[in-house]
């Protein structure tokens, strides 16, 4: 289980200011899904900025692999065509 549903106190917009909330807001209780502390590294990894250089490298390797397979298959097809005729 990565978290639990708990009742938490939040500050919401209000006409009267009530401590400890900033001006123009008052405390209210809501149900929220609170993550377990052990899940912090996972959540931080998911929120990390996208690494375009790494993605470009992976895409380049994949594209090269597909083009290489195409060329090998084409060569095998040509060889089989010569043998067949």
Query: Which tokens go with 71?
Result: 């060329």
The pLDDT value recorded for residue 19 is: 82
The predicted structure's pLDDT at residue 7? 95
Alpha-carbon distance of 71 to 9, in angstroms, equals 63
Residue 49, classed as helix, strand or coil, is coil
Encoding tokens for residue 25?
């807001």
| The model's pTM | 0.48
Low-confidence ranges of the chain (pLDDT < 50): none
Look up residue 28 and give its two tokens: 């209210």
29 in the Ramachandran plot: left (φ > 0), alpha (ψ -120 to 50) or beta? beta
* Predicted pLDDT of residue 16: 81
């Amino acid at each position: 289980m990565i978290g639990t549903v708990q009742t938490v106190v939040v500050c919401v917009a209000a006409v009267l200011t009530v401590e400890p909330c900033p001006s123009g807001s008052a405390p209210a209780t809501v149900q929220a899904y609170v993550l377990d502390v052990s899940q912090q590294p996972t959540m931080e990894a998911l929120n990390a900025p996208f690494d375009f250089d790494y993605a470009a490298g992976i895409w380049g390797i994949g594209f090269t692999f597909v083009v290489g397979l195409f060329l090998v298959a084409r060569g095998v097809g040509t060889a089989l065509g010569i043998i067949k005729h």
